[in-house]
A = this chain, B = another copy of it.
């Protein structure tokens, strides 16, 4: 449950941030879809790769794909000046990052990976999509420039890896304070 909710929140936030960045650097409509989808699913894909889940499982998330697709379409249809406002996109980025890093850590922890791998999984699930987005838009990855982002992901990884949390509602709290 907690997993699904975090997944939807993270997907919407990242799809939004990817589409906004694409419009910001003057990519066109297809570029916005590509960047939105990559931002939303890239982190999870890399995490699957490194934790040994068949990457092909990605194709079973069709409802998430639709969610991302609709989100991006809305961003594209927004009038120009509201996109300019959204360009201060860091809010979406941090929402997406905390949702996905909590979820990545939960996942890695649930298959009993060592602590180091849990922390890595939190970091890559949370930050991976944004890093690929920034590379494709020729920007310096924001997570590497601003400490707070990744620190949070690492912190979430530690908390969950060390088993401090066990109930769903605690994951929500962790997400919200993040």
Contacts and interface: CB of A to CB of B under 8 A. Distances in A.
A79 interface: no
Interface stretch (A52-60, A83-91, A164-172): A52-60
A114 B59 contact: yes
A30 interface: yes
Nearest to A29: B147
Contact of A150 (B34, B62, B141): B34
Interface stretch (A3-11, A70-78, A96-104, A132-140): A132-140
A117 B59 contact: yes
A178 to B, nearest CB: 15
Interface range on chain A: under 10, 10 to 19, 20 to 34, or 35 or more?
Answer: 35 or more
B131 A136 contact: yes
Contacts of A123: 34
Contacts of A135: 135-136
A51 B49 CA distance: 12
A163 interface: no
A117 to B, nearest CB: 5
A29 B145 CA distance: 9
Interface of A: 22, 25-31, 34-35, 45, 49-52, 54-56, 58-59, 62, 65, 113-114, 116-117, 123, 131, 135-138, 140-141, 143-147, 150-151, 154
24 contacts: A22-B144, A26-B145, A27-B140, A28-B144, A29-B147, A30-B150, A30-B151, A30-B154, A31-B144, A31-B147, A34-B143, A45-B50, A49-B49, A50-B55, A52-B54, A52-B56, A59-B114, A59-B116, A59-B117, A135-B135, A136-B141, A136-B144, A138-B138, A138-B140
